[in-house]
Amino acid sequence: MSGYRHMFQRALAAAPERLHFAAHSHHLWPDASFLGHIAAWEDGVRLADRKWERVMGEIWPAAQAHVAAELNLPDPASVVFAGNTHDFLLRIVSAIGRHPVRILSTDGEFHSFRRQAARWVESGRIVLETLPNGDEARFLERAASGEHDLIFVSQVFFGSGRRFGDLATLAALSKPDGPWVVIDGYHGFMAVETDLSAIADRVFYLAGGYKYAMAGEGVALMHAPPGYGARPEITGWYAEFDDLSLPPGSVGYAPDARRYMGATFDPSGLYRFVAVRDMLAQEGLSTEAINAHVETLRAPLLDRIGSTALRDAELLNPPGPGSQSRFLAFRHERAAALQAALIEQDIVTDVRGDVLRIGLGLYQTTRDVEELLSVLSRL
């Protein structure tokens, strides 16, 4: 079966012998993203100075609507975009207004949080408490202690593919005067079905277009709950709201999620994101439908992995109830060597320490899985 390869003709033709099993790391770009990128360039030269009227008046709200539909948010105005999620992290912490900021997190967060948090600890900007990412009960217990200003946790942990299950209990702890709950949804957005409708008034949600949204770099997104952080200290002029009641010299803010905006940005990522989402709608592909395709790949892979070089590996995220992460994480002492051996066969996976990650996506077929298994059995 060809699956959905017709949507990725440019990316597949660019390296026809490659088998790309790293959709969780750098998702191949569909042809629609190319068209979106070209549209951004064409609008830039056609409209010149007036392009921002189209960006903020048409492309931005279209992207907001797509995010709101994906997450089942009550109001698209709660969605804001930036170049990367690190920008949002800086603005959220700056909006808390306490020094030092007391943060609870896990030892399994991605580097955009891990590195910045480590540096903030050095400078005294924050006090950080981390717990093992597999101990959800302990995490919820500490979160309920009332000793933290900010609680930061991944929806799906990047290293293991495990999900944080009880977001509702975590969200119930969140209040405008603290603590705030931030969900890093980078491996959840458009990878697992996500309904934030019941907790949208209490949690921040961060994600981006680099992975499962298939839009590439430069299009990070955030849902910001109303009433949480009206005036971030780190702010750009795009966040300014023209409030005529303010005295001269005052720093104004937009009343919605735009209060978390920065300054001038490259809008091409938004164009690509909207183009990809429009493509998926035309193809009738929801996240649930994509996951159904991925399951046709994951099931035979897991059925036969025991007869390959990964026979002794520990699967960190075995399938369970509900929507699954889009990659399989195998802990193995030779993970790095196996990943390097696969690269020599032009099969792309990735490795994090002693964990080999195999990502699955729309552009793969059962034939691709057969080839991967065949190579793994010979290693």
Same domain, 39 and 133: yes
User: What average pLDDT does this structure show over 62-83?
Assistant: 98
- 299 in the same domain as 272: no
**Residue 273 pLDDT exceeds 70:** yes
Region for residue 346 given its phi and psi (left: phi exceeds 0; alpha: psi -120 to 50; beta: otherwise): left
Provide the pLDDT for residue 355. Answer: 96
| Residue-number span of the structural domain to which 63 is assigned | 33-280
Answer yes or no: is pLDDT of 240 > 60: yes
Mean pLDDT of 245-271: 91
- Lowest mean pLDDT: which of 203-217, 298-312, 321-335? 321-335
115 pLDDT more than 80: yes
Residues 37 and 24 in one domain: no
Residues 216 and 123 reside in one and the same domain: yes
Specify the pLDDT at position 378. Answer: 94
Note whether 258 and 345 are same-domain residues.
no
Domain boundary among 224, 258, 280: 280
Shared-domain flag, residues 362 and 309: yes
Q: Which of 226, 255, 280 is the last residue of a domain?
A: 280
Same domain? For 244 and 231 the reply is yes
- Residue indicated by tokens 């998702």: 27
| Domain identity same for 196 and 328 | no
- Total domains in the fold of the chain: 2
pTM, full prediction = 0.95
Mean pLDDT score, 350-356:
95
Tell me the average pLDDT across 245-263.
89
Q: Quick: pLDDT tens for 126-157.
A: 999 999 988 999 999 999 999 999 999 999 99
- pLDDT tens digit sequence for 4-18: 999 999 999 999 999
Q: Are residues 256 and 145 in the same domain?
A: yes
Please check whether residues 301 and 275 belong to one and the same domain. no
Q: What was the pLDDT predicted at 227?
A: 96
Evaluate if residue 86 carries a pLDDT over 80: yes
Per-residue confidence (pLDDT) for residue 248, from 0 to 100: 77
Ranges 75-89, 180-194, 308-322, 326-340: which has the least confidence: 308-322
Model pLDDT, residue 249: 79
Provide the 10 A C-beta neighbour count for residue 303: 10
DSSP class per residue in 126-183: EEEEEE-TT-HHHHHHHHTTS--SEEEEESB-TTT--B---HHHHHTT--TTS-EEEE
Asked if 374 and 22 count as a contact pair (C-beta separation under 8 A), the reply is no
Judge if 148 and 240 occupy the same domain.
Answer: yes
Pairing type for strands 327-331 and 79-82 reads: unpaired
Q: φ, ψ for residue 141 (rounded to 5)?
A: -65, -45
Cα→Cα distances 168→109, 188, 195, Å: 20, 16, 11
Q: 2 versus 30: which is more confidently predicted?
A: 30
Domain boundary among 280, 297, 331: 280
pLDDT at position 195 is: 97
CATH of the domain at 356: 3.90.1150.10
Is the pLDDT reported for residue 26 higher than 70?
yes
Q: Which pLDDT band holds residue 242 (cuts at 50, 70, 90)?
A: low
Residues 329-350 pLDDT 10s: 999 999 999 999 999 999 999 9
At 321 the pLDDT is: 79
- Mean pLDDT calculated for residue range 248-264: 92
Strand-pairing partners, residue 103, are 128, 150
243 pLDDT above the threshold of 90: no
- State whether 24 and 38 are in the same domain: no
The CATH number for 189's domain is 3.40.640.10
Per-residue pLDDT, 245: 64
User: To the nearest whole number, what is the mean pLDDT of the chain?
Assistant: 95
Start-to-end CA distance of the chain, whole Å, equals 27
- Please tell me the predicted confidence (pLDDT) of residue 264: 94
* Res 244 pLDDT > 60: no
Reply yes or no on whether the pLDDT at 1 is more than 60: no
DSSP 48-63: GGGHHHHIIIIIHHHH
- pLDDT given for residue 250 in this prediction: 84
238 pLDDT exceeds 90? yes
Residue that wins the pLDDT comparison between 111 and 121: 121
Residue 199 pLDDT > 90: yes
Whether pLDDT at 234 is above 90: yes
Q: Which of 23-27, 187-191, 246-250 has the lowest mean pLDDT?
A: 246-250
